[in-house]
Amino acid sequence: MDTHQAKEKITKLREELNEYNYEYYVLDRPTISDHEYDEKMRELIQLENEHPELKTEDSPSQRVGGEPLDEFVKVQHKLPMLSLGNAFNETDLRDFDRRVREGSDQPVSYVCELKIDGLAVSLTYENGKFVRGATRGDGKTGEDITHNLKTVKSIPLKLQQDETIEVRGEAFMPKRSFDSLNDARAQKGEELFANPRNAAAGSLRQLDPKIAAKRNLDIFIYSVGEWQGEHLNAHSERLDYLKQLGFKTNPEWKRCETIDQVIDYVKHWTEDRPHLSYEIDGIVIKVDQIDVQDALGFTAKSPRWAIAYKFPAEEAITKLVDIELSVGRTGVVTPTAILEPVKVAGTTVKRASLHNEDLIQEKDIRIGDTVVIKKAGDIIPEVVRVITEKRTEDLEPFQMPTHCPECGSDLVRLEEEVALRCINPNCPAQLREGLIHFVSRNAMNIDGLGEKVIAQLFKEDLVHTIADLYKLNKEQLLQLERMGEKSVNNLLSAIEKSKENSLERLLFGLGIRYVGSKVADTLAQHFKTIDALMKADKEDLEAIQDIGEKVADSIVRYFQKPQVASLIEELKQLGINTKYNGITMEEITEDSPFAGKTVVLTGKLEVYGRSEAKKKIETLGGKVTGSVSKKTDLLIAGEDAGSKLEKATSLGVEVWDENRFIRVLQEE
């Protein structure tokens, strides 16, 4: 590869890795597995080493992580929380051992620890009291998440001794908690977390600590950061001391005298990790002697005295017995592999993602094939490859259907799309998925109407369109499984209450292509009524800020359908509101008490829930943030307001109690 080719490849890898970093560290929504990410990073590092003239300071290989989120107060780590270099095989481990021994003039031993798959955090104690908890962030700057970490019961609020110390650990969600959380979300029709790490990170970045408290998180403390106390000469001694102070440390760590013992430890846990009650994604190996650690020092981004062995992606071999096709809300037909049950990463796998027709053809996947599947962090594993040597001659290439598996309508592939799509608006599968979307939290928010209840309603032939939801009666609902009188009454009340929702919720719930919640809000504010929106042409829509040609075209096409006009009229007859209830930006004057102000909510609000209070402030022109700073204009404090109230008072920020907040809203 010449310099020009290397430059192009390096540029491409940097762009990809920067995007993956953003998705992982900022959005907490990774789109690739750790293994794939590591491979791309190794390729980038290798190319930069081969072409040092192309290495730059802004390369993802030269930094420690992603930028922190803005919702929390930023915390500067006095000692950086650096990442570790990676080892992927025995050769890498022996190379690490060689470098360590070449850099030390005394005998060296190692401490091996399980690498917990969670969120790295820093805990600070002053005179034995927990005063601050922060995320790792980019290694130098994290976010203050003290209020959430206090809900983790394994974190001591007071130590056994009055130490002033900063410790580092990994907050995580046990497997049992993760399964319970996803079961609850599935029943509510909410999006599932991809893995326990994402669930833990999402929990600790919630503004409301009550949410984190319900997630049953845990933590293992694995090292000391800033500490002016007793000097201990070995990392193993520090782990023992941390336990004495009252911290929860992982009991599976082991001191190893040789690299062979380290490799034996790695092999053992590579095989035995499915039996753990929490997820691990590798083994951390550290030099035990502190003075050797000090002598070896650091590179720009990681210590020379520690390394992380990363497990390969979990793979298994099984037979693909069928390919199941499902139709989503937008009509996209998605293939899923049905497998002979096989154990992967401690769970029995029966299904694997095939994504789309192009992937099936690219990998030449056929029904009856012996396939390799992997589970590297995804809920549904994926087919990696076919073992063609085991293929019998009678297996035919798989062909996607030409007609919808649910309704029999012709399938089409729209321009610039890889997916096949059913465009029949009366397709039962689309109607069912559309109903699940319609009742979801960001749409009409009908509590109690989860995916399972919707499926029952369809099975019993009680609903076909969203209008049918508003025709349900008590007698019909009592016939459903697990629906007692109290549940039915609550559900009917939730359905009735949803009729009052503002127009933007209805627009989002209708599932118009390209119309997300933000676009729905923009449309509702602009047109005020659904009738005015239905009369708008493409030119009218494109004149609105943030509405482009593709969105405008989709909206016009949707409302031109005769069945949509009939549906809207039926919803009106059933009493569903089709007008915008909020305050438009034009109506927000300088006299609004919140116009242009940055507001923070804290403590328990009795009359308005946190989300409702936030929306009311925003509709009056205010901006609600999660942390108090010099830029905060107003703090609204409910009962049990804590550190935010103290900080606001010290900064001279105006403070209202809930009674004043309610009076102001009533005056508007």
At residue 312, the pLDDT reads 79
Candidates 3.20.20.70, 3.40.1080.10, 3.30.360.10, 3.30.470.30; CATH matching 74-310: 3.30.470.30
Distance, CA of 442 to CA of 207 (rounded, Å) = 18
Give the integer Cα–Cα distance in Å for 444 and 506. 6
Mean pLDDT of 561-588: 85
Which has more pLDDT, 626 or 119? 119
CATH, range 428-498:
1.10.150.20
Q: Give the list of residues 6+ apart from residue 331 with CB closer than 8 angstroms, or none.
A: 404, 421, 422, 423, 424, 427, 430
User: How many CB atoms sit inside 10 A of residue 281's CB?
Assistant: 20
Kindly report the three-state secondary structure assignment for every residue of 45-104: HHHHHHCHHHCCCCCHHHCCCCCCCCCCCEEECCCCCCCCEEECCHHHHHHHHHHHHHCC
What residues does CATH 2.40.50.140 cover in the chain?
314-390
For range 84-91, the mean pLDDT:
91
Q: Is the pLDDT of residue 66 over 50?
A: no
pLDDT reported for residue 367: 96
Kindly indicate whether the domain formed by 588-667 is annotated with CATH number 1.10.3720.10. no
Instruction: List, by residue range, all CATH 3.40.50.10190 domains of the chain.
Output: 588-667
Q: How far is CA 451 from CA 42, 49, 183, in A?
A: 42, 52, 12
Distance CA 512, CA 384 (A): 35
Nearest to 145 by CA among 159, 156, 130: 130
For the question of residue 115 being annotated catalytic, the response is yes
* pLDDT of 346 above 70: no
| Residue 417 to residues 196, 547, 558, Cα–Cα distance (Å) | 32, 21, 19
Name 133's Cβ contacts closer than 8 Å, sequence gap at least 6. 121, 122, 123, 124, 144, 145, 146, 148, 149, 150, 155
What average pLDDT score do residues 212-235 get?
86
**CATH 1.10.150.20 spans which residues of the chain?**
428-498, 503-573
Contact predicate 636/668, CB 8 Å: no
Question: Which amino acid, 122?
Answer: S
Kindly state the average pLDDT of the residues 128-154: 87
Instruction: Name the pLDDT band for 587 (thresholds 50, 70, 90).
Output: low
Q: Which of 9, 115, 343, 350 is catalytic?
A: 115
Residue 221 in this model has a pLDDT that exceeds 90: yes
Give the torsion sign (CA, 395, 398, 402, 407).
positive
Of residues 54 and 529, the one with the higher pLDDT is: 529
Taking only the tens place, the pLDDT of each residue in 436-451 is 999 988 899 998 888 8
Q: Report the topology of domain 503-573.
A: DNA polymerase; domain 1 (1.10.150)
Token look-up 């081969």 returns: 50
Burial of 350 (0-12, 13-18, 19+ CB in 10 A): middle
**pLDDT tens, position by position, 612-636:** 788 778 777 788 887 788 888 999 9
Superfamily classification of domain 314-390 = Nucleic acid-binding proteins (2.40.50.140)
User: pLDDT by residue (tens digit) across 462-471?
Assistant: 998 899 999 9
Residue whose pair of structure tokens reads 């937008």 in the numeric block: 330
Percent of the residues in the chain that have a pLDDT greater than 90, as a whole number: 39
pTM over 0.75: no
SS3 658: helix
Answer whether residue 68 shows pLDDT above 90.
no
Give the position of tokens 């809203």: 665
Tell me the C-alpha distance between 222 and 219, whole Å: 10
Q: Tokens in use for 436?
A: 């699940």
Determine the straight-line distance between the first and last CA of the chain, rounded to whole angstroms.
68
Is it the case that residue 356 has pLDDT exceeding 80? yes
DSSP-derived pairing of the beta strands 598-602 and 218-227: unpaired
pLDDT at 25 over 50: no
Architecture of domain 3-62: Orthogonal Bundle (1.10)
